[in-house]
Structure 1
Amino acid sequence: MSRQKFVNRERELAFLEERYASGDAELLIIYGRRRIGKTELLLHFARNKEHVYFLASEKPYRDNLRELQRMMGDFLGDRLFSRIEFSDIDELLIEFSKRVRGRRVVLIIDEFPYLIEHYKPVLSLIQRAWDMELSKSDLLLILCGSSVSSMETEVLGYKSPLYGRRTGQWMVDELPFWSLREFFPSYSTEDIVKVYGVLGGIPAYLLQFDPEKSFDENVVEKVLSKGAFLYEEAEILLKEEMREPANYFIILQAIASGRSRFGEIVNATGLDKSLVSKYLNVLEKLRIVEREVPVTASRKEALKRGKYSITDNYLAFWFRYVLPNKSYLETGLGKEIWERSKEDFKEYMGGVFERLLRKPEVFTKLTNFRFTKIGRWWHKGEEIDLVALNEREKKALFIEVKWKDLSEREARGILKDLKRKVKLVGLDEWGKHYGLVAKNVKGKDKIKEEGWLAWDLEDFERLGVSG
């Protein structure tokens, strides 16, 4: 497979194509964290269409404006266009729109937050251009950005001059788990789940791993080696997105070390409660951290019983295995550190496997169970890894998730204990189903014949990890 192959963005492309086909003026906001594949998505969408793609940079606003004007002139085939004196971006956009009237042209301004950062009035000027000319044109204008906080506040926020002007928006997320096989066609299903545990579904990170090398070799060479892209990426990512990265670092360190409750995080960091609350809210918005509550909790209970976890797999791995071992890794001991971490990695993968199974696209494909809510359940030291509720039909599926090979006897013991725990959940009048998921379940077919449910990596393989 070509390492630059464009992988699995059907929904995003369908959204863009639908807006393109509308024939109406469109102002689309596309955003998502760095390395997620936004630029590749937009270039893939625009490749067979008349388009101008402009990547804003950290240069001064006027320099960016002149570069955009030059690219528009090249598109128009008019060398004189770049010599016209425009007082600001609104005049440039209006004139360009007039020049392409009657043609369906896509205009992409990538890394738009750089323009805002250097010249805040750019938002009001684009609003003016939209109201005066662009909204009546055939133009499809796309504003794209990697700074999620800036895009959600400055561009999409209620106080933004562009509020109410946009005709659509899309937050680009990680690739679906089922897509990873396309990056690693010769890997076993177990190794693909492990790759997901280290890198998540971030295309730029997946392309760093060499599919011709083993999983362990890739981890050592691409993550645990000084100078490797993924060795420093976590620090770069957080410094680019956060205004006070040091405080976010200690919060993520606390969560990675097992502090999951708000009070535990406050105690571990030494930060004021209000600050921790503010930073956690930002991390949740960025989809780096998730606050979970028991799936059956009432609203009142949910306020008190939340647990935090790092849901970005790359950052979870980095804070658990790179940061605490930096002194050793700096001296080239990546291989030794990885060997020493193997047992702990099995425990880490247990959490990854649980979160993976709770992803709707994975859970639905594996179980065919319709649900309205999905999550974990816990109470007074008892916990169930996965609970799916169908509130309309009053049916519930309870599943234990184990990142290990299970004998038939172990599997039966887990299912029997699961049934005991389910009695503590309540839902007395509901129809209940019980199951487990593991790397391998011996006697799986026999267990299923007795009315239990069981899945393992063989079922992932059967479903097709490339989906």
Structure 2
Amino acid sequence: MTFYDRADELDALDTAFESPGHDFHVVYGRRRVGKTELLKEFCDDRPHIYFLAAQEAEDRQREKFVEKVADYFDDRVPRIDGWDEALDYLGDKLATERLVVVIDEFPYLVDENDSLPSYLQSFVDEQLQDTDSMLVLCGSSVSTMESEVLGHESPLYGRRTRQIDVQPFSFQQARDVIAYDIEDAIRSFAVTGGTPMYLTLFDYDRSLDENIRTQILSPTAVLYNEPEFLLRTELRKPARYMSILEAVATGHTTPNEIAGTTGIDSGPLSKYLQTLRRLRLIDRDVPVTASAKQSKRSRYRVADEFLRFWFRFVEPNRSSIEEAPEIVYDGTIEPNLPDHVATTFEDICLEGVWEAIRRSELGPYAEVGRWWYGEDEIDIVGLAPDDDRILLAECKWTTEPVGHSLVSSLRDKADRVRWGSPTRDEEFALFSRSGFVEGLADDLNDNWSLFSPEDLKNLFAAEK
């Protein structure tokens, strides 16, 4: 498999390993995000021991770990009775050779023995720190990694020398994988999101609709049951979580709307939402002008584009897909895909705003996000408190060019955004899938910026 991007993460690992002294790295992130591929790429040309934990009995896990260590050193496998002895054995070997030791899917080991972090604390304090070797603990269960390795209550707290929270690819990063033109790339990203595994399953020599049919709507395809599999690996009873994700994916975004759709009371719902946020499956938004902690105007959104697509189009139509996937695609997905893509387009435009800020094509802004109040909404608002300046932008994924009516609408809504002083500076931007009516740019002053998909393509490509 081709390895894509992750240059910053690789540089961090490279720098740490080449520096004198020991290193204890923690690498974590959602499943399928590419943590294992990152570590394999890093280890490829270095002396290393890579151990992938499995969901099996503790004794067998420990035996396999010791066998890995013994095999690397061409040693007879010793008799080991506990994790403390296994780590002592590793420590003795690290005293003779510098290498990288990766323990992948570490949460599986903790599930079988919750004392393991304490044994590792002793190993780091008494043996690893006297070497030039690197220990890497990696895990997909974000909650376990944050509590059992990074949390204040963990015996390992304060021992790590660096942590890497591996995120899905941004649209800009995903463009290295998505070999479509810019407009189809946006549509494709709205289906796969930035998860490397999902991106690389698509065949970009085929059309997007072919990829959806073969890679998602086929009951034998990996992605057909992927979200259900992910939830079952994280949650013992995923049914209610799936109903919440479906509700959010189909446009019920406030707590009251989610409760009304799912039938879950507000008390339990709050706990379910917190769990889904901890698993990074949903995000909570508040208007960019409001306090995230104090605002009551919360909206939730599915944090991954593929999950949003699946819970909107696949989960509600499972029975029909089993019988007639073509009818589901032609009758449900294809006519509603533009509306689905429009939400993704807003996120990509938000990414474009940050890139334009970095390149000084827009003014500097400290915060950028969505804004709404009552019936009014603005897709993107940027705040520059020190300069008393505000950015207001709209994003339109329509088949018609944007014209003067959107300009007037945005100006009117700008007056209703209560932020800054009455004399604040205002900057405007429009993003349009189908470009702009002739003469619009000439009718606007220098406070306005217009971006077509081709402009976004050039903006993202300029960084490379």
Q: Is the 8 A contact 1:415 1:434 kept in 2?
A: no
Mapping of 1:288-299 within 5 angstroms? Answer: 288-298=281-291
Q: Residue 209 of structure 1 aligns with which residue?
A: 202
C-alpha distance 41-294 of structure 1, shift in aligned 2 (>3 A): same
The question of 1:188 aligning with 2:167 is answered: no
Alignment match of 2:60 (pick from 63, 76, 80): 63
Mapping of 1:401-416 within 5 angstroms? Answer: 401-407=395-401, 410-416=402-408
1:463, 1:268 → 2: CA distance?
40
C-alpha distance 165-215 of structure 1, shift in aligned 2 (>3 A): same
Q: Residue 104 of structure 1 aligns with which residue?
A: 98
Per the TM alignment, residue 363 of structure 1 is displaced from its structure 2 partner at its CA by 5.6
Q: Is the 8 A contact 1:91 1:129 kept in 2?
A: no
Partner letter of residue 251 of structure 2?
G
The question of 1:352 aligning with 2:349 is answered: no
Partner letter of residue 317 of structure 1?
F
Per the TM alignment, residue 357 of structure 1 is displaced from its structure 2 partner at its CA by 2.0
Mapping of 1:377-388 within 5 angstroms? Answer: 377-388=371-382
Alignment match of 2:22 (pick from 6, 25, 38): 25
TM-score by length of 2: 0.93
Alignment match of 1:227 (pick from 214, 220, 234): 220
Give secondary structure in 1 for the equivalent of 2:233. helix
Q: Is the 8 A contact 2:355 2:459 kept in 1?
A: no
Mapping of 1:18-417 within 5 angstroms? Answer: 18-78=15-75, 80=76, 82=77, 84-101=78-95, 103-185=97-179, 187-298=180-291, 302-331=294-323, 333-340=324-331, 341-359=333-351, 362=355, 364=357, 367-407=361-401, 410-417=402-409
C-alpha distance 299-65 of structure 1, shift in aligned 2 (>3 A): closer
How many equivalent pairs are there?
A: 456
1:435, 1:139 → 2: CA distance?
51
C-alpha distance 386-464 of structure 1, shift in aligned 2 (>3 A): closer
C-alpha distance 41-388 of structure 1, shift in aligned 2 (>3 A): same
1:74, 1:117 → 2: CA distance?
26
Alignment match of 1:453 (pick from 434, 449, 452): 449
Q: Is the 8 A contact 1:180 1:192 kept in 2?
A: no
C-alpha distance 362-194 of structure 1, shift in aligned 2 (>3 A): farther
1:250, 1:463 → 2: CA distance?
38
1:210, 1:436 → 2: CA distance?
32
1:177, 1:371 → 2: CA distance?
21
Deviation readout 1:258-285 (Å, 9 max, x if unpaired) = 2111122122222232221111112222
Deviation readout 1:53-81 (Å, 9 max, x if unpaired) = 01011121111111111111121122x1x
1:205, 1:320 → 2: CA distance?
17
Give secondary structure in 1 for the equivalent of 2:433. strand
2:203, 2:309 → 1: CA distance?
19
Q: Is the 8 A contact 1:353 1:401 kept in 2?
A: yes
Per the TM alignment, residue 91 of structure 1 is displaced from its structure 2 partner at its CA by 2.4
Partner letter of residue 211 of structure 1?
Y
Please say which of residues 278-287 and 110-119 is displaced more in the overlay.
278-287
Give secondary structure in 2 for the equivalent of 1:425. coil
TM-score by length of 1: 0.93
C-alpha distance 246-36 of structure 1, shift in aligned 2 (>3 A): same
Partner letter of residue 34 of structure 1?
R
Gaps of 5+ in 1: none
C-alpha distance 388-445 of structure 1, shift in aligned 2 (>3 A): farther
Partner letter of residue 70 of structure 1?
E
Identity percentage over the alignment?
35
Please say which of residues 91-100 and 269-278 is displaced more in the overlay.
91-100
C-alpha distance 334-446 of structure 1, shift in aligned 2 (>3 A): same
Deviation readout 1:1-51 (Å, 9 max, x if unpaired) = xxx111110111111112212222111111111111000000101111111
1:60, 1:281 → 2: CA distance?
31
Partner letter of residue 250 of structure 1?
S
Gaps of 5+ in 2: none
Per the TM alignment, residue 192 of structure 1 is displaced from its structure 2 partner at its CA by 0.8
C-alpha distance 365-222 of structure 1, shift in aligned 2 (>3 A): farther
Q: Is the 8 A contact 2:249 2:302 kept in 1?
A: yes
Q: Is the 8 A contact 2:280 2:303 kept in 1?
A: yes
1:444, 1:120 → 2: CA distance?
66
Give secondary structure in 2 for the equivalent of 1:441. coil
Deviation readout 1:334-381 (Å, 9 max, x if unpaired) = 222122222321111111111222237556468544211111111120
Partner letter of residue 215 of structure 1?
L
1:47, 1:256 → 2: CA distance?
40
Give secondary structure in 1 for the equivalent of 2:137. strand
Partner letter of residue 18 of structure 1?
T
Q: Residue 2 of structure 2 aligns with which residue?
A: 5
Deviation readout 1:68-106 (Å, 9 max, x if unpaired) = 11111121122x1x1x22232232223322223263310
